[in-house]
Structure 1
């Protein structure tokens, strides 16, 4: 009896110790998270932040399918780019979460990846290593700007109307690529472009996917883009249009793209304009995303300024440098982070959650390899439509603002070059303002940029 009593006492003591130990571990974990992310001060909890992170991941995970599909068309190894995409997104989001404590996730940016693959690489004779060198250099310059007052000066130097035109133009650029990937738009010797075979099964799947995607997006279904990409891919596999490469496996090798950037060669071929475009678009995109996300998260102070903005910019520029080293185009802040913010995300813990999910995505390489180009077309066209909303913010009552913005928006897709579109837009802005007598609207930075682009276009 005494033995049984002793056993019961020991069991009770062990159970109590186990529970106490568990509480201590949990308390230490909670203390660590509180020190890192200031959850209580932000009015949030660990559960809310993790849920917000999952929501954000679902809204932006399409990039693990789309980015390798785009960059592989520039001659890069699909599997290596897939790994680089996941790791760049994970690293960038981790830095943003731990260093800046911002609820803003990062990944290789749409638009810049298309510029990389369809403009920069062909300009370098198909050598994507030179293009990666430009991305790396732009990241280093961005980092320097992030640590200096020049960052704000450069952002403010670009006229607001041109910013809107650039955003819309990049959207139209993505739309053109998406429609081409679906076979809906094809080249024509007389009219340059014409309608493709819309009766083809692949085109029908892409169009059906786009309509369904818009409906899901309207209903605010989490992960709508990824669901449609997977849905179209599944339909293609079932119809025998696409072989199933698998779903999960060990990650492919990163070796084909790791540290393959060539800066010296890019210098020799004259890369100033390309680096400037990478830098400018990333800077504008990141600034706009941080401001928008910060306002929705309630991070702005009484003057409307964002705290720790320098840290956030440093995190973004560092992610671009890391991404180029891994083997992907510019890594930037994602506006899809607002989906997590709407769910309640307020701190970097949300972003760290996104980073961990991108690490787990490394094992989905076979699934990514199964996705056909036309399955990503609905995502590209929807993103284009959303980016086109920027045109609504232009002052349509002032023709000296409207025309340069529209010129920029049209020139980017029609020249199939973000750089050429920006150049024509800035040149037209400066020329129109001068001839209209609106000298006060110009600053010397715009004049220098316009002159530089004019010389470049005249000499090419």
Structure 2
């Protein structure tokens, strides 16, 4: 097992991988609660979505761990599930069965692009400075999500954002978790992020901020209401509206996963010669998970940026992905315990992981404006648009512009020009 996952080269141990996988699981566990709620508003059966979500995470994480040796958890994207429900089903009036079939078609296209290595080729031609910008931008984005989930930062009509209520129990608990986790990490305690979550959960239950679980073991809901509906709806997906929907699933899913892979490879120290090792199998795993999830009954999947919490806790290989799968399998039976893992418990981990990832921007050559402007655009637009894919797209639009302005158009890979045109067309017809 150690040889297969290359423990010696990546300088890791079973304990390190276990704690890393457990930390990622805890950071992702909220998805089992949130995804059924979001998709339930589209008319889907919440119980079936719960089971479909768990099984999709189990299979997707196993695939990426075994095939590509990456410490990543694959799960339904929290952005795409909202798009599925509020834009496609509610906004456009498309039945959830037909929308789910659109996810299936997008997944099949993903698999084809992955097998042909189109996705891998695109990721590998991204300039090194932009890869650092993507990793740093995701860091700011993840930290912003953590601050928002903890209600440390809240919306404000006058100033857009402002400080939250520091007398609120959940916010105080999140601040406590942030401080205690920071102290442990500064003192060099491996797994400090995980221990911080455990301590915060206990403190939260003691002071009544978090409800104690009402039970330990629960029944597994049936998949019958959603399983296989995509096959009967296939003739209904070839309409102009559905084609736009499928393209959106493709676009956002493609660059969400690309961003996560770049960030994870960079943070774990396995990015080599500006290329991501085993990117092909990783992308194929992600694409396959989308197909599996759509058949079971859930929205498009993505390689989750929450995986960086596990990497910060020590995960370095695909063995931690197997650990993630194992815990989600157990979660099928112990679902009531997931109520303890609230947003204020996971928020400190996201803030700290963001701080770690932002360090990648130090490698960017800020003295050259032709690099600095596209890099800054990529970084700043991720949190401000609340989208990794949008930040990447805007940065990729600016990169050819600045290079052309200097007459260095020959240094830009042709694929970057194709992406330039594609992104502009996407924003025009979005």
What's the offset of the Cα at 1:441? 2.9
**Aligned-partner Cα distance in 2 for 1:97–1:457:** 34
Matching of residue 171 in structure 1 with residue 119 in structure 2: no
- Answer yes or no: is the 8 Å Cα contact 1:116–1:329 preserved in 2: yes
What's the offset of the Cα at 1:400? 0.8
Deviates more, 1:238-247 or 1:285-294: 285-294
What's the offset of the Cα at 1:221? 4.3
Q: Where does residue 257 of structure 2 map in the other structure?
A: 282
What's the offset of the Cα at 1:352? 4.3
Change in 2 beyond 3 A, CA 1:283/1:453: closer
Q: Where does residue 362 of structure 1 map in the other structure?
A: 332
Q: Kindly tell me the number of residue pairs found equivalent between the two proteins.
A: 408
Change in 2 beyond 3 A, CA 1:119/1:304: closer
User: Helix, strand or coil: the match of 2:426?
Assistant: helix
TM-score, normalised via structure 2 length: 0.77
Question: Which one of 168, 179, 182 corresponds to residue 150 of structure 2?
Answer: 182
Larger radius of gyration: 1
What's the offset of the Cα at 1:249? 0.7
Change in 2 beyond 3 A, CA 1:407/1:458: same
Deviates more, 1:135-144 or 1:356-365: 135-144
Q: Where does residue 32 of structure 2 map in the other structure?
A: 68
Q: Where does residue 419 of structure 1 map in the other structure?
A: 389
What's the offset of the Cα at 1:288? 6.0
**Aligned-partner Cα distance in 1 for 2:197–2:2:** 37
**Aligned-partner Cα distance in 2 for 1:410–1:188:** 19
**Aligned-partner Cα distance in 2 for 1:95–1:312:** 8
Q: In the TM superposition, what are the counterparts of 1:389-404 in structure 2 within 5 Å?
A: 389-404=359-374
Change in 2 beyond 3 A, CA 1:83/1:432: same
- Answer yes or no: is the 8 Å Cα contact 2:131–2:262 preserved in 1: no
- Answer yes or no: is the 8 Å Cα contact 1:323–1:331 preserved in 2: no
Change in 2 beyond 3 A, CA 1:119/1:377: farther
Q: Where does residue 170 of structure 2 map in the other structure?
A: 202
Change in 2 beyond 3 A, CA 1:206/1:153: same
User: Helix, strand or coil: the match of 1:61?
Assistant: helix
What's the offset of the Cα at 1:410? 0.9
Q: Where does residue 247 of structure 2 map in the other structure?
A: 272
Deviates more, 1:220-229 or 1:367-376: 220-229
Change in 2 beyond 3 A, CA 1:118/1:90: closer
What's the offset of the Cα at 1:359? 1.8
Q: Which ranges in structure 1 are unaligned for 5 or more consecutive residues?
A: 1-36
Matching of residue 113 in structure 1 with residue 81 in structure 2: no
Q: In the TM superposition, what are the counterparts of 1:187-266 in structure 2 within 5 Å?
A: 187-219=155-187, 221=189, 223-246=191-214, 248-253=216-221, 255=223, 258=227, 264=237
Change in 2 beyond 3 A, CA 1:80/1:454: same
User: Helix, strand or coil: the match of 2:73?
Assistant: strand
Question: Which one of 124, 143, 148 corresponds to residue 88 of structure 2?
Answer: 124
Q: Which ranges in structure 2 are unaligned for 5 or more consecutive residues?
A: none
Deviates more, 1:180-189 or 1:214-223: 214-223
What's the offset of the Cα at 1:437? 2.0
Matching of residue 332 in structure 1 with residue 298 in structure 2: no
**Aligned-partner Cα distance in 1 for 2:27–2:372:** 32
**Aligned-partner Cα distance in 1 for 2:254–2:393:** 14
- Answer yes or no: is the 8 Å Cα contact 1:274–1:419 preserved in 2: no
Q: Once the two structures are superposed, what CA deviation does each residue of 1:25-62 show, in whole Å capped at 9, x if it has no partner?
A: xxxxxxxxxxxx59599688xxx975455333223221
Q: Once the two structures are superposed, what CA deviation does each residue of 1:170-227 show, in whole Å capped at 9, x if it has no partner?
A: 3323333322222222222222112221222221111111121223334554554344
What's the offset of the Cα at 1:293? 5.8
Matching of residue 408 in structure 1 with residue 378 in structure 2: yes
**Aligned-partner Cα distance in 1 for 2:284–2:63:** 9
Q: Once the two structures are superposed, what CA deviation does each residue of 1:305-340 show, in whole Å capped at 9, x if it has no partner?
A: 998765454334323433444425524384536866
Q: Where does residue 23 of structure 1 map in the other structure?
A: none
**Aligned-partner Cα distance in 2 for 1:43–1:186:** 42
Deviates more, 1:444-453 or 1:243-252: 243-252
User: Helix, strand or coil: the match of 1:392?
Assistant: helix
Q: Where does residue 443 of structure 1 map in the other structure?
A: 413
**Aligned-partner Cα distance in 2 for 1:78–1:237:** 27
- Answer yes or no: is the 8 Å Cα contact 2:32–2:54 preserved in 1: no
Q: In the TM superposition, what are the counterparts of 1:19-34 in structure 2 within 5 Å?
A: none
- Answer yes or no: is the 8 Å Cα contact 1:119–1:416 preserved in 2: no
Deviates more, 1:235-244 or 1:265-274: 265-274
- Answer yes or no: is the 8 Å Cα contact 2:19–2:315 preserved in 1: no
- Answer yes or no: is the 8 Å Cα contact 2:135–2:262 preserved in 1: no
**Aligned-partner Cα distance in 2 for 1:386–1:89:** 25
**Aligned-partner Cα distance in 2 for 1:78–1:221:** 39
**Aligned-partner Cα distance in 2 for 1:353–1:243:** 27
